[in-house]
Structure 1
Amino acid sequence: MTMTAEIPGQVPWWKEPTRDQWMAWIAAWLGWTLDAFDFTIFLLIMVPISETFHVPLIEVTAVFTITLWLRLVGAVGSGWLADRIGRKAPLMISILWYSVANLCAGLSPTFALLFLFRALLGIGMGAEWPAGAALAMESWPARSRGLMSGVLQGSWSIGFLLSSAAYGLLYDKIGWRGLLILGVLPALAVVWIRIYVKEPKVWVENRRIQREQKQEFRAPLFDIFRKRVLGNTVMACLWMASSFVIYYSVYGMFATHLQKDLHLAAGMVAMPIALANLVAFLASGAWGYVADVFGRRWAMIIPAAIGACITPLYLFSDSYPMVAGAFIVQGVFLGAIYGQNPSYLTERFPTEVRATASGFCYHQGAIWAGFTGPLLTYFAVGQPLGFAVPMLIATTGAAIMFVITLLYSPETKGKELVSEITLLQPAE
């Protein structure tokens, strides 16, 4: 049984990684956390954007739908580059891309231009994850990979917390444009990554073997649909699709629900979202420890099942303490089911196609999530309770699919990542 706890003669888990391994993980952490800030700030300002440009709210929700859909474009492109030239360069390109796109969106004089630049931001968002996840997980020791995967993926909540804090503290002073313009700051992280981060050894050796044996994988996206890995690819896609729908049913429209249905001020909207994200970050690390002890799947199945039962508590109450308290508690469960995304996707696919496979399976889920905002808004218009019923149905249905898919998926706890060309070896 692989554990992050110490056993006699074994160094503490946090001393096992080398300086280069820590640097690789920190680079991925920076890219993901800042990516989260740039994306989630938009979820908090859809209503004022609608009012500024005098467009229906459903048209504004379509902005983040297109942003989510274009993530798949960035993910596939970045994954291909990461498998061909290394994990580091695509990570830097992606951070620059989404930072500049957010700046341009903040300066846009028309809704059409804002729509364009936020859509383009989606390409940079999608490009960050496959490169960053592969960089971090390939570099990290197997013993504590689940834990650090949880902390890494959970840091999306840190980015959301930062955007919530910025909204609550700065919106009245700098408005929605100023909040978007703040999104250019992540570009500074590229300098640090360029200087201090190295490519994972397992990828470097794998590329050497490909060149030496003249067996290079020039189209890795097609390789993940080979017969021997097709089932794994399909199940990974279903898992990620359901998890994306859960996230955007729980978090994506919650601020709009509080603004439109409960008519709450900025500070009262920001508080539960910020605290729920802080709790989700801490819980992602805790469930990551569970993943290293009991397995990747159970560290996701258990919180998903519990979280589905918590959902009605914050959607069907007129009491602000109940709404805020239950939503914050949800951070421990449905807010933390994503912690094993980096480790589990990394461990399910071989080195030669890993970034492409991870990027595609992860971000095709964003296509389904892209329908969530407009559909929930469409059905909310005709509901006496507004967003409550549509959000409950979407969350519960997706949670059931999430659990079923993982029950039929492979367990990868403790898997050692190898540099050999696995796809050309006979199936076991």
Structure 2
Amino acid sequence: MNWYREISTPEKRTLWGCFAGWALDGIDTQLFSLVIPTLIATWGIGKGQAGLIGGATLVAGALGGLLAGVLSDRVGRVRALQVTVLWFSLFTFLSAFAQNFEQLLVLKALQGIGFGGEWTAGAVLLSETIRAKHRGKAMGIVQSAWGFGWAGAVLLYTVVFSYVSPEAAWRVLFGIGLVPALLVLYMRRNIVEPPREAPASPADRPGAFAILAGIFHPSVLRTTIVGGLIGLGAHGGYHAITTWLPTYLKTERHLSVLGTGGYLAVVITAFIIGCFVSAWLQDRIGRRKNVILFAICCAATVNLYVFLPIGDTAMLILSFPLGLFAAGIPATLGALFNELYPQGVRGTGVGFCYNFGRVVSAAFPVLVGHMGNSMPLGSALGIDAGIAYGIVVIAALLLPETKGRRIATVAPQTAPAPDKRSATHV
């Protein structure tokens, strides 16, 4: 942790502010998956309806990620982060008062806008605050916060359902979702907006549509297309695995350990460690090599799952490398995407590349199901994962290495203004 001692107090405050925001976001989001059985039993809704709520949250999250990127370019990184934290906290809290499926569907979709937006706003803020040589480590550590939030959700679920009846416990859990709003007080007092070139006058500030169009300007169009493909492959492989691998292992391999606490503990631990490993590696070997390495390892591990004869014990052991490798790619994307764009459209570019893939990647689980009609499900899953992570590898090869790239376009306000002719631009 020598690098941590090197960074300044403002850098540390921003790091932990973004870490807390993503962890609390993880808690609020993961709580829904834990209370699905209770909602099905209490309201008598079907699994399809519960799945629709989860799907609507993810799609809204993709929209929120793009909107938050535009907002951060328009009004600033810190303000955009504050808005997203307040947004997902408020709608998680309001979900506690839903009286039927339709109300919960709308409220969870609205929560999803904040859930997707928080990652984008926090990633851009942190990337512009942490010095270049430690940016990858900081971004990877913040990505690990999702795992801690996931574990926190499991802990809260266990405690609340131990003392409150199921009919009321899920409402209590969603009500606790208002707590993250208190993080905004910390942000207002401790996190400083990264310096950037201000418009000559308010009238010169570009509008939201002009900012959005900026990521399709010829100077960055190739970056936007290739970055979107990386997001597509990364999310496509992840969603194919999480959607179909449990079904395959339960129905065709008849493994029982999937529903145990031990399996969940292994997956969460692997995710956190994977983020830390990726954080260290990407500042050592570079962003491109790191993404390619983890993509190849993900594809290989999935195929080991589906083609090797394994039992419960072997499956539990293999779940560790699978969780670790799956975490490594998103832990790299924050630094990579931020280092590809100029400051004026950075938030929008990061939001688009990450969330375009989140929406379009829904085709990959569908593809697995379609292929499974004419071949074994395991073979379909292995081929699909190979395609998804193959897209990641090819796209990464088309990008420049960005490790160590300076992305600030102006000096901090406490330092003399640099000569614009020598300023470093992305």
Q: Same fold (TM over 0.5)?
A: yes
AA of the residue aligned to 1:91:
L
**2:336 aligned to which of 328, 340, 344:** 344
CA distance in structure 1 between the aligned counterparts of 2:184 and 2:343, rounded to whole angstroms: 25
Give 1:372 shift: 5.8
CA distance in structure 1 between the aligned counterparts of 2:75 and 2:357, rounded to whole angstroms: 25
Query: Is 1:408 paired with 2:402?
Result: no
**1:367 aligned to which of 343, 359, 384:** 359
CA distance in structure 2 between the aligned counterparts of 1:378 and 1:53, rounded to whole angstroms: 29
Residue-by-residue CA offset, 1:294-345 (whole Å, 9 max, x unaligned): 1101111112211212124555767332222211221221232211121111
**Preserved CA contact (<8 Å) 1:347 1:412:** yes
AA of the residue aligned to 1:188:
L
**Preserved CA contact (<8 Å) 1:87 1:131:** yes
Residue 223 of structure 2 is matched in structure 1 by 232
**2:20 aligned to which of 4, 26, 30:** 30
Residue 156 of structure 1 is matched in structure 2 by 146
Cα distance 1:163–1:320, how it changes in 2: closer, same or farther (>3 A)?
Answer: farther
**Preserved CA contact (<8 Å) 1:46 1:61:** no
Cα distance 1:337–1:354, how it changes in 2: closer, same or farther (>3 A)?
Answer: same
Give 1:117 shift: 1.0
**Preserved CA contact (<8 Å) 1:43 1:253:** no
Query: Is 1:184 paired with 2:178?
Result: yes
Give 1:253 shift: 6.2
Gaps of 5+ in 1: 5-11
Compute the TM-score of the two structures, normalised by the length of structure 2.
0.84
CA distance in structure 2 between the aligned counterparts of 1:257 and 1:393, rounded to whole angstroms: 14
Give 1:250 shift: 3.0
Number of aligned positions between the proteins: 406
For 1:36-51, list aligned pairs within 5 A.
Answer: 36-51=26-41
CA distance in structure 2 between the aligned counterparts of 1:413 and 1:363, rounded to whole angstroms: 23
Residue 267 of structure 2 is matched in structure 1 by 276
Compute the TM-score of the two structures, normalised by the length of structure 1.
0.83
CA distance in structure 2 between the aligned counterparts of 1:163 and 1:391, rounded to whole angstroms: 29
Cα distance 1:287–1:396, how it changes in 2: closer, same or farther (>3 A)?
Answer: same
**Preserved CA contact (<8 Å) 1:345 1:358:** yes
AA of the residue aligned to 2:211:
P
CA RMSD of aligned residues (A): 3.3
Give 1:418 shift: 2.8
**Preserved CA contact (<8 Å) 1:277 1:335:** no
**Preserved CA contact (<8 Å) 1:165 1:274:** no
Cα distance 1:354–1:152, how it changes in 2: closer, same or farther (>3 A)?
Answer: same
CA distance in structure 2 between the aligned counterparts of 1:111 and 1:361, rounded to whole angstroms: 32
Residue-by-residue CA offset, 1:95-148 (whole Å, 9 max, x unaligned): 121122222223322111111111111111122122111111100011111111
Gaps of 5+ in 2: 411-419
CA distance in structure 1 between the aligned counterparts of 2:246 and 2:16, rounded to whole angstroms: 30
Query: Is 1:211 paired with 2:200?
Result: yes
Q: After superposing the two structures, state which structure 1 stretch, 57-66 or 46-55, moved more.
A: 46-55
CA distance in structure 2 between the aligned counterparts of 1:99 and 1:376, rounded to whole angstroms: 35
**1:320 aligned to which of 312, 319, 334:** 312
For 1:14-413, list aligned pairs within 5 A.
Answer: 14-167=4-157, 170-171=160-161, 174=164, 175=166, 177=170, 178-201=172-195, 203=196, 206-207=197-198, 210-211=199-200, 216-218=205-207, 219-251=210-242, 268-314=259-305, 319-370=311-362, 375=366, 391-413=381-403
Cα distance 1:370–1:193, how it changes in 2: closer, same or farther (>3 A)?
Answer: farther
**Preserved CA contact (<8 Å) 2:31 2:173:** yes
